[in-house]
Each structure stands twice: as structure tokens, then as C-alpha cells.
Structure 1
Amino acid sequence: MMKNMSSIQSRFGAHLKKLRLEAGLSQEAFADKCGLDRTYVSGIERGVRNPTLEVIHVLAKGLGKEMKGLFDFDGDA
């Protein structure tokens, strides 16, 4: 079960990074926009941090997306 959890964290993080880059935002600019520390955003993108639903909501708002869009990574490689 825990192996699966780290996999979903890694996939979520990779998808978040992809969306951030598509939005043309540096990690620092995105973190500032969300009111989060850049190192925390980095940890999420690398799959080592497990963001709460509240943080995921803030990330989605920072990207101008609905929360569900942050989980739409089944089509990602």
C-alpha cells in the first residue's frame, strides 16, 4: 500500500510540475502566487511531500484550474 502511495505522490507531483511549466511559471513565482514556500512546492513536485486537500486547493487556484484538473494525470507518461 505505501509503495502505491509514493507512486501517486510522484505522479501528482510530476503532473503539477507539467501544469506549472505550461502556465509559464517558475517554481518560485508559482510558490509566491500560492503563498507557499518554494522548497515545499519543490517537495510536492518531486513526490516527497504529501500535500493536504487545503494545499491542493491553493495549488489549483494558483494555476487557475479546478482541483480535479490536478488529478487528471492518467494520460501522462
Structure 2
Amino acid sequence: MSIHDLTTLLRECAGEDESVNLEGDVLDTPFADLGYDSLAVLQTTGRIERDFELTLDEDAVAEAETPREYLAVVNHQLTDRSNA
């Protein structure tokens, strides 16, 4: 999953703060600074789990504070699934 995929899902699941440019370099920007709270990330997680038919590690998702950290969790799970 790419940053573009993630920002698209965030917009679809939780909208977008007009004062934040998600097209910029946001990989290391905390979700809170991007206008997304834990509920928005949870909604996005649910969508990813449905779309990709996988279960993400809830603790790892909760600890991810930036898109880079979140993508690492998601992509790790996707890689594990494809290697199984």
C-alpha cells in the first residue's frame, strides 16, 4: 500500500481538513496534525481490513502516529499474508 492509497482512504473514510495538503510530504506528519483522530484511523483500518481481507494488529495500529508508521504495519501484514 502506498501513501497515495492511504490518503485516498483517509479522505473517503473521514474526510479532509481543508487546511492540510495531503498531496505533500506527509509520511512523517502525525495524524493529529493532518486532522485525523484515532476514530478516523480506526475507520480507515476497518476499510483496509475489508478491502484486503486481513486482520491488522490492533496494538500496532494504535501505536502508529504517522502515515509512515501506519503503512509499515499494513504493508507488513500484506507481506506476511502473501508469503503464507
- The interval holding the TM-score normalised by the smaller chain is 0.3 to 0.5
Higher fraction of helix: 1
TM-score (normalised: structure 1): 0.34
Larger Rg, first or second structure (1 or 2): 2
TM-score (normalised: structure 2): 0.33
